[in-house]
Structure 1
Amino acid sequence: MTRDGGLRLHMRRVLDAPRPVVFRALTESQELVKWWGPDGFATPSVESDLRPGGGYRIAMQPPEGDLFYLVGEFLEVEPPERLSYTFRWEDPDPEDQETTVTLSLRDIGGTSADLVLAQGDFATERRRALHEEGWTQSLNKLEKLMSSHVSA
């Protein structure tokens, strides 16, 4: 994980599954609910119109507390290489602002995928750190899901 100028987040994972399988996990509702969100969170529903200009809405349920929603618009949808979308909370924290998430996938020998995530710009370092924690936990779950896909 590295940071460049500005309040941006950069993360990278090598996933033990081919790019098309990883891309489906990043975009298909029935796959997203399996790994999306920080530890302990549930994802009761995902609504998605997967095309540039299409929108999405993800319901997130914390272990304690009320259901809340993440919404945005798809900017780029290029299977199985790239996905970019806006990211905003339906009822944002005063420190939140809309960010852009870009997920890029590079093929590694046809059996694995290199996933690079970039998100920004954040309004505060505290919000960037919160997203870093959430993405780290979510990507841990995605990594486990992709490993189980290969062994299945």
Structure 2
Amino acid sequence: MTYPTEDTERDLVLTRVINAPRDKVYRCWTEPDLLKQWFAPNPWSTPSVEADVRPGGASRITMADESGTEYPNPGQYLEVVPNQKLVFTDAYVGDWQPSEKPFFTTILLFEDAGDGRTRYTAIARHWNADDATAHKQMGFHEGWGICAAQLEEVAQRL
């Protein structure tokens, strides 16, 4: 399967070369204690993470703004290929229970970039073009870019 390398009508794409091996970058996406350290763009935080990392398993990542207001993000893993690929969505909230309003599916690719580095690609695939546009206007590239830098910092410490 081929994936977009740049934004399309419904896909937003972020690609970075992270100065850490892909097994460590993958761990940062699949271990709750690590996710809490980088997932929300500073100065926001990630007070709680639940991750049943298996196809059909539930994910619930809660972000909090500077005032402590929490924003839970429930979802479900669709595809799990250790150290290579993670696919999850907010269309389901675990065990194939539908969510109230799906917004997007995330496809994460982890590829060797040589010298112990990882080519990290995050694709946010939206249900429609309007949702993609809204997500872009919310700051997808900036926010996910900040988070990719924070992810790199955590992965380098492992």
TM interval, short-chain normalised: 0.7 to 0.9
Identical columns (%): 30
Q: Is the 8 A contact 1:8 1:128 kept in 2?
A: no
| Unaligned segments of structure 1, at least 5 residues | 91-95
| The one of 48, 51, 56 aligned to 2:54 | 51
Equivalent position of 2:83 in the other structure:
80
TM-score (norm 2): 0.80
Q: Does 1:40 align with 2:49?
A: no
Q: Size of the alignment, in residue pairs?
A: 142
The CA deviation at 1:106 is 0.7
Q: Is the 8 A contact 2:83 2:110 kept in 1?
A: yes
SS in 2 for 1:50: coil
Q: Deviations over 1:87-126 (max 9, x none)?
A: 37x9xxxxx7420000001112361111011012152513
| The one of 146, 150, 156 aligned to 1:141 | 150
CA separation in 1, counterparts of 2:142 and 2:72? 18
Q: Does 1:2 align with 2:10?
A: no
CA separation in 1, counterparts of 2:123 and 2:132? 16
Equivalent position of 1:93 in the other structure:
none
CA separation in 2, counterparts of 1:105 and 1:16? 12
TM-score (norm 1): 0.83
Equivalent position of 2:104 in the other structure:
99
The CA deviation at 1:146 is 2.9
Letter in 1 for 2:135: R
Equivalent position of 2:124 in the other structure:
119
CA separation in 1, counterparts of 2:152 and 2:137? 21
CA separation in 2, counterparts of 1:143 and 1:114? 11
The CA deviation at 1:11 is 0.7
Letter in 1 for 2:119: D
SS in 1 for 2:67: coil
CA separation in 2, counterparts of 1:32 and 1:117? 15
- CA-atom RMSD in angstroms: 2.1
Q: Is the 8 A contact 2:77 2:89 kept in 1?
A: yes
| Unaligned segments of structure 2, at least 5 residues | 94-100
Change in 2 beyond 3 A, CA 1:129/1:87: farther
